[in-house]
Structure 1
């Protein structure tokens, strides 16, 4: 790795963090965070609680060697630097055409010898080198390769990094589809769809696995579920099981192995949660990652973070051709050497689900609720009135299949609704689908009722691959719920309650095109409902003319391109939007109003763009009054005051999803995140805090 990249990574993380003997982050000797330096300025009883640090363990499940490097980094490298136990499971060998050459004449020459076993081995060598570099700084750090029997009845290769034995790689070595979208029954897709009874392996030349095997669909699911039982993750990272199709060609927007591999992983998490009771394993959360579609969107990472990520990809690609590994197969994947950024993938990281900031909400009378999917169920944390009240939870609502990402809405009487999507696996392949569901409190401050299904605007998975967004919701003045979803055709859909409480028969169409990510909603001081959705080039708006009126739009906002995730918060007569600048990650904000002047033109009034300043980052931004929270370029959750000093106060904690915040009575704010340990962490502070110290909402009683 070039010295400049090493220095960047160390400068971004290590001056603030070191890895303790327990594998979690600790303050470097002689160092103080800005939060701790001002600890005496606040007498909040929560100050006596342990400061939140990175904890938990991570399992990643990907289809091919390099999917983790392209689509899960820098989350991956941050976890490795933090000392977290990390295991990556590769479902296929990624043997492709068996030619280990950079794309070009040599790779396309029919005379070029093809050897899939050797090429798959070269990809393994490259992955081991990249992980060794990320974890130790030395790409030649030694691995121990052994055979691991699987719960599916076959054998996998297990690689353990000797210098950091908490870093494991597991290779199932199944045959890949060998084409991003072509119809090849001998593949994960064919196995999932029942077109073949079993799928065989593509063993690498150097693997210790010598026994041939095949897996049925159920055996693949059981094999992965067994690995989850072995490694007991608190965070599971998988690819996107429902990426959608291109409107013009009908082809998948992602590699078929990515999509169907993610479905196998999805089914395995369900199997694991059902087979191992929660008391015998830690609770877990799931994070989905966007794949090929990143290439069509603005860059989400700042240049320094992207450079470090590309450096690891160059190691994987065996960019220097030095035979440091001593393998006759080669030390990496030369196909990537011709373009280590992929097809515009390396400069971004995006979550396919769970990247919104609306999962924390205040109910009546002053109760606070936080929601997240744990173990495939919706978890609820509750805190009574007042910021000094005690948090309880998580309580899990009945019903499984809940996907990452939750949204909330509050009714006029103070009752709270939680919304999500639910995946239905079904007995048959064609039964796979996503549907929008919601649950409502029976009374203000009371228990939540059962999940109710609103169906889906996608009537058949074969048409849209269930590619609907996380829903967003608003409540009309007369107490009716309106739910908004981006559909697989990238338009906005609505389903609204009738005055009597029932629902319309179908999802209405609100239009728009090229919509990305999740819609966000807010209601301004005049009671007008606002809905905003990102496109690849700007942001579109839908606004009701009055509190009782229907949404009008889509209106162009004229805003510049964003990195996709939006956050909306009511502010006076308008709604303030928060988003990140492409190729930077700096947080930007505008105020959108719908006054008489805009009504004449049919276009909302949009203020000039201002920036919060400070260090870059990626992902959605949480908003609590004037306090902003988000992922810093180091990957930790950080906070800053809007309009205050530009510096972000960084924590010592990596987390999943997005932060969320609320401003409470008296001007105090509460911000929450879900740590990699699948625990809720919170910080309560004044709107312009002197410090922000994170702690577990529900202290560990052990």
Structure 2
């Protein structure tokens, strides 16, 4: 018998009894008791640890294992409440057979319900292994009604009841890129009125259903309302197209499933008022196969081992299901197409969201609930509660820039969903303080260099911003053709049309910095190196693109002034170790590049924050960690997983302040004097 929402919440409350540090699905409040720190100034503030709850929404079973791991496994091991919702059953052609170097099977009969059940079995085994170390750890399978009018299967890991799987069980496209009407793509674009379910052979859901576009959006929003996450993980809604053939760089279900998630997070934020704030992290999919590996061998092997479990590679009947214990299609090649060796974010993977304002003040920006939030630290060192700029649809990630008079500008991209599918677009927006330390003005749109969503799926980067001595902005952007574009603010406050600055094969968000001589530098990574655009003098034109001769990177790039030049930070492929080099501009056509040195500790992934002699980034454990230039290449690790990338500012007195957004959607900071010390992170607002 299907569970009502109230009965389902009651079931979860019973299952989570005695589980410490777990957020209750029913209420979204912490179940473990603990007194808040008192106001006695002698009380030592608690160090930041992983907190909050995570909901992942993916198109198919295994998208989470290929593209969101190792973030997923580390969240599970930390005890974080993790729920993954699968939009489709991933039934494909219904043949559960391996064809590859690692395994090969004889031809199997086609049975989509049984193959979809086998994929579910593989997911349950992989999650059990990640969470408990035992792939056979038992699950309770239940049925719940959805907000969209259908039914979903919800599986609860009995040994770790904070781990849930939600199966919405819709029909998949059954093709990577062909325009099939019976698909998430067809439903989004209005080619079909409703998309039918594809039930698995063993599901407790016994009656089929279908969803209209609005019903599916509400069904996903209902999952978010039930679990009330502080971090939402999703796939990339704007992956782009390959220039040589016009094909999407990702599976169409990944892209359009992510657009449904975008619409659902907007609906959830608007409809549910009493809920925690949430951030959103999006992940790169198939395009990882064309880029250097971002994970170190040990992490990649651990990730692949979970995929082997999912793929039922040992072919032992340990689950007792007539459908099979996993997805044999993956058994032939458990690493996919170089997917297991990488993890990359497609938003919020830059370190430019923390900025100085008037003397002694700092401003930190991030996107919560689809709106830009900012925290202000006053000259006395106290952080204030976040304030939200008006206006929804802001994509994850922020760029902050200080104007000469102490005002701060914040830039981002905004997704406009629109009433019609063709209205979908992303545009660059910015807001500027009306006065130093004052309120921010309304968002202003800079538009987009894209002709329309169809041509490039709105696959623009996050903006980078430079400010000249007059306080005028220049905004840089990677377009969907992977070239550099710019708009320049005019003395009357308006902006030029989007200019073409060249380059090709650009992969990263562009980054910019100004050296001690006032020369502007702009950089972007390619598949094999880094390209530069620089000024010969402070008032000269921007020249480039120029090759730097730097080695391949894992894509994310950070730039910071360093004496007469700009220091770049990036990671070494197949290692994750942070590398750094100083680039010096001047009269020569090509900038001068120093030798490459290493900083940070072993492994890790994602962008790093850097200021002065201090570097902060994600270590191989997934925690936010710090290191110093010139010292031993070792991370000082925290106990906190986080979202996005750290950001850092070197203040006039020599203190480096570093900030990060936790999985709890809270700002966490530490301040280090000029002499390096082992940092302790704390919540900024206490």
Aligned partner of residue 653 in structure 2, secondary structure: helix
Count of aligned positions:
652
User: Could you tell me which residue of structure 1 aligns to residue 475 of structure 2?
Assistant: 483
**What does the per-residue CA deviation read over 1:657-679, in whole Å, with 9 as the maximum and x for residues that have no partner?**
00000011211110000000000
Q: Distance in 2 between matches of 1:21 and 1:157?
A: 26
> How far did residue 688 of structure 1 move?
3.0
2:94 to 87, 98, 102: 98
Matched, 1:22 2:21: yes
Aligned partner of residue 422 in structure 1, secondary structure: strand
Is residue 629–residue 659 contact of structure 1 (8 Å, CA) maintained in 2? yes
Aligned partner of residue 145 in structure 1, secondary structure: strand
Matched, 1:450 2:442: yes
Matched, 1:622 2:614: no
User: Could you tell me which residue of structure 2 aligns to residue 378 of structure 1?
Assistant: 372
**What does the per-residue CA deviation read over 1:636-658, in whole Å, with 9 as the maximum and x for residues that have no partner?**
00011111233211001000000
Aligned partner of residue 517 in structure 1, secondary structure: coil
> How far did residue 107 of structure 1 move?
12
1:587 to 554, 578, 587: 578
User: Could you tell me which residue of structure 1 aligns to residue 49 of structure 2?
Assistant: 53
Is residue 103–residue 332 contact of structure 2 (8 Å, CA) maintained in 1? no
Q: Distance in 2 between matches of 1:551 and 1:690?
A: 39
Is residue 624–residue 662 contact of structure 1 (8 Å, CA) maintained in 2? yes
1:196 to 171, 192, 195: 192
Q: CA distance change for structure 1 residues 233 and 613 in 2, over 3 Å: closer, same or farther? A: closer
Matched, 1:333 2:364: no
Q: Distance in 2 between matches of 1:258 and 1:107?
A: 26
1:304 to 294, 298, 301: 298
TM score, norm. by length of structure 2: 0.93
**What does the per-residue CA deviation read over 1:139-167, in whole Å, with 9 as the maximum and x for residues that have no partner?**
00000001011000000000000000000
**What does the per-residue CA deviation read over 1:234-279, in whole Å, with 9 as the maximum and x for residues that have no partner?**
00000000000000000000000000000000100000000011xx
User: Could you tell me which residue of structure 2 aligns to residue 240 of structure 1?
Assistant: 236
**What does the per-residue CA deviation read over 1:173-199, in whole Å, with 9 as the maximum and x for residues that have no partner?**
000000110110000000000000000
Q: Distance in 2 between matches of 1:211 and 1:409?
A: 55
User: Could you tell me which residue of structure 2 aligns to residue 81 of structure 1?
Assistant: 77
Is residue 58–residue 236 contact of structure 1 (8 Å, CA) maintained in 2? yes
**What does the per-residue CA deviation read over 1:10-32, in whole Å, with 9 as the maximum and x for residues that have no partner?**
xxxxxxxxx982249xxxxxxxx
User: Could you tell me which residue of structure 2 aligns to residue 431 of structure 1?
Assistant: 423
> How far did residue 48 of structure 1 move?
2.7
Q: CA distance change for structure 1 residues 47 and 369 in 2, over 3 Å: closer, same or farther? A: farther
User: Could you tell me which residue of structure 2 aligns to residue 34 of structure 1?
Assistant: none
Unaligned runs of 5+ in 1: 1-18, 25-44
Q: CA distance change for structure 1 residues 382 and 341 in 2, over 3 Å: closer, same or farther? A: same
2:532 to 533, 541, 556: 541
**What does the per-residue CA deviation read over 1:45-64, in whole Å, with 9 as the maximum and x for residues that have no partner?**
89832210100000000000
User: Could you tell me which residue of structure 2 aligns to residue 137 of structure 1?
Assistant: 133
User: Could you tell me which residue of structure 2 aligns to residue 464 of structure 1?
Assistant: 456
Aligned partner of residue 554 in structure 2, secondary structure: coil
User: Could you tell me which residue of structure 1 aligns to residue 309 of structure 2?
Assistant: 315
TM score, norm. by length of structure 1: 0.91
Q: CA distance change for structure 1 residues 106 and 287 in 2, over 3 Å: closer, same or farther? A: closer
**What does the per-residue CA deviation read over 1:360-404, in whole Å, with 9 as the maximum and x for residues that have no partner?**
000113210000000000000000125xx2101210000000000
Q: CA distance change for structure 1 residues 274 and 162 in 2, over 3 Å: closer, same or farther? A: same
Q: Distance in 2 between matches of 1:108 and 1:666?
A: 64
User: Could you tell me which residue of structure 1 aligns to residue 619 of structure 2?
Assistant: 632
- Which runs of structure 1 show a deviation greater than 3 angstroms over 4 or more consecutive aligned residues? 104-112
Aligned partner of residue 223 in structure 1, secondary structure: helix
Aligned partner of residue 270 in structure 2, secondary structure: helix
User: Could you tell me which residue of structure 1 aligns to residue 201 of structure 2?
Assistant: 205
Matched, 1:283 2:270: no
Q: Distance in 2 between matches of 1:586 and 1:108?
A: 36
Aligned partner of residue 87 in structure 1, secondary structure: strand
1:523 to 514, 520, 524: 514
Matched, 1:268 2:264: yes
Is residue 536–residue 586 contact of structure 2 (8 Å, CA) maintained in 1? no
Unaligned runs of 5+ in 2: 1-17, 24-40
User: Could you tell me which residue of structure 1 aligns to residue 664 of structure 2?
Assistant: 677
1:170 to 166, 176, 200: 166
User: Could you tell me which residue of structure 2 aligns to residue 392 of structure 1?
Assistant: 384
Matched, 1:552 2:582: no
User: Could you tell me which residue of structure 2 aligns to residue 503 of structure 1?
Assistant: 495
> How far did residue 410 of structure 1 move?
1.3
**What does the per-residue CA deviation read over 1:553-601, in whole Å, with 9 as the maximum and x for residues that have no partner?**
00000000000000000011110000000000000000000134xx1xx
Q: Distance in 1 between matches of 2:303 and 2:102?
A: 27
Matched, 1:408 2:400: yes
